[in-house]
């Protein structure tokens, strides 16, 4: 697909242009409104492709759980192996700016199948939960109060650290908006041991010295919007003596890990980034017990 179209869609989904402006420009690039309408499904997420690990996988115990943050209930999907005789390192999964959708729930199940106690938090749950309408979800994400939302993520780490099925070692993996939240969480949470940020916005650099977690920062080579902040962030991490690794996947677009998005998904980059994620989490949280097949 024309890179200009992918970049245009990225600008729309991150609130830089309106839907009307997006469709007008898409029609111009595609040649007509009809061609633009036909192209739109290729740009949007197709959640029928989401279930790499089925919701009813017999090896997993999946439930909706909640914790309190400043007295407010926050919910999410908790997934873990049915075998209960072993404690497991925990991983907080933080969604994109579409909320806790089927794709992120599937990512949560994938981590559980690798042996982790995985919690896909819905940071829109205090406001009624993630809606099916992605435009509405993005509007809700944009309206969130950042300090309150970061505090809720910090409390999610505490929730997982204290969970009876957890070893107490907690990491976080986030994508897009969630990748930016991982960066903010690393500055705010003293309990986070490892953070994996996929194409996430960089945090305030003056607070980089507060980071205690090891960081794995994964970026898409074609993601100019996010990548302009890499150099300054890396310089601040290096100056503060932090444990971090940066990988840039050449030729990959923002959201390259999202296998429900045919225009931007990059199987080669996604597979390599996922293998690095698994090795990084095992190194810093401890290797999880196996899941019975």
Model confidence at 105, pLDDT cuts 50, 70, 90, reads: very high
For residue 262, the model assigns a pLDDT of 82
Q: What is the span of the domain harbouring residue 260?
A: 49-285
Same domain? For 27 and 64 the reply is no
> Going edge to edge, which strands form the sheet with 60-69?
60-69, 72-81, 117-121, 88-94, 166-175, 192-198, 214-220, 244-249
| pLDDT exceeds cutoff 70 at 50 | no
> Domain for residue 292, yes or no?
no
> Domain for residue 290, yes or no?
no
Render pLDDT for 181-192 as a digit per residue (tens, 0 to 9). 999 999 999 999
More confident position, 211 or 83: 211
For residue 12, the model assigns a pLDDT of 79
Q: How many residues does the chain have?
A: 293
Same domain? For 239 and 270 the reply is yes
Structural domains in the chain (count): 2
For residue 82, the model assigns a pLDDT of 87
Same domain? For 148 and 82 the reply is yes
Render pLDDT for 113-139 as a digit per residue (tens, 0 to 9). 999 999 999 999 999 999 999 889 999
For residue 293, the model assigns a pLDDT of 66
Same domain? For 81 and 95 the reply is yes
For residue 263, the model assigns a pLDDT of 81
Same domain? For 109 and 177 the reply is yes
Render pLDDT for 73-91 as a digit per residue (tens, 0 to 9). 999 999 999 876 789 999 9
Pick the closest to residue 218 from 258, 174, 187, 177 (CA basis).
174
pLDDT, average across residues 86-101: 95
| pLDDT exceeds cutoff 80 at 31 | no
| pLDDT exceeds cutoff 80 at 179 | yes
User: pTM (2 decimals)?
Assistant: 0.91
Place of tokens 């999907």: 77
User: What is the CB neighbour count within 10 angstroms for residue 66?
Assistant: 15
The enclosing domain of 102 has a CATH number of 3.40.50.1820
β-strands 72-81, 166-175 pairing? unpaired
More confident position, 254 or 2: 254
Q: Note whether 130 and 122 are within 8 A (CB).
A: yes
Same domain? For 84 and 141 the reply is yes
Query: Directed axis angle between helix 33-43 and helix 19-30, to 10°?
Result: 110
Same domain? For 121 and 260 the reply is yes
Give me the chain's average pLDDT, please.
Answer: 92
Q: Note whether 222 and 254 are within 8 A (CB).
A: yes
> Domain for residue 101, yes or no?
yes
Same domain? For 74 and 94 the reply is yes
For residue 5, the model assigns a pLDDT of 78
């Amino acid at each position: 697909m024309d890179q200009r179209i992918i970049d245009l869609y990225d600008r729309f989904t991150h609130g830089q242009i309106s839907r009307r402006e997006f469709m007008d420009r898409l029609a111009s690039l595609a040649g007509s409104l009809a061609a633009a309408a036909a192209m739109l499904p290729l740009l949007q997420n197709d959640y029928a492709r989401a279930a790499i690990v089925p919701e009813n996988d017999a090896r997993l115990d999946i439930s909706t759980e909640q914790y309190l943050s400043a007295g407010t209930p926050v919910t999410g999907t908790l997934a873990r192996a049915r075998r209960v005789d072993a404690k497991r390192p925990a991983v907080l999964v933080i969604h994109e700016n579409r909320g806790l959708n089927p794709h992120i729930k599937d990512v949560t199940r994938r981590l559980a199948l690798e042996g982790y106690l995985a919690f896909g938090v819905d940071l829109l749950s205090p406001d009624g939960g993630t809606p099916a309408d992605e435009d509405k979800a993005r509007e809700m994400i944009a309206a969130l109060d950042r300090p309150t939302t970061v505090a809720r993520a910090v409390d999610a780490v505490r929730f997982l650290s204290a969970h009876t099925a957890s070893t107490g070692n907690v990491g976080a993996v986030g994508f897009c908006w969630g990748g930016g939240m991982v960066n903010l969480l690393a500055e705010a949470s003293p309990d986070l041991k490892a953070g994996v940020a996929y194409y996430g916005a960089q945090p305030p650099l003056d607070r980089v010295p507060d980071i205690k977690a090891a960081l794995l920062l994964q970026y898409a080579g074609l993601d100019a919007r996010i990548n302009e902040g890499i150099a300054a962030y890396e310089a601040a991490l290096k100056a503060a003596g932090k444990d971090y690794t940066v990988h840039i996947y050449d030729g990959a677009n923002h959201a390259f890990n999202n296998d429900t998005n045919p225009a931007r998904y990059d199987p080669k980059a996604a597979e390599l980034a996922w293998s690095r994620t698994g090795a990084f989490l095992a190194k810093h949280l401890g290797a999880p017990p196996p899941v019975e097949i």
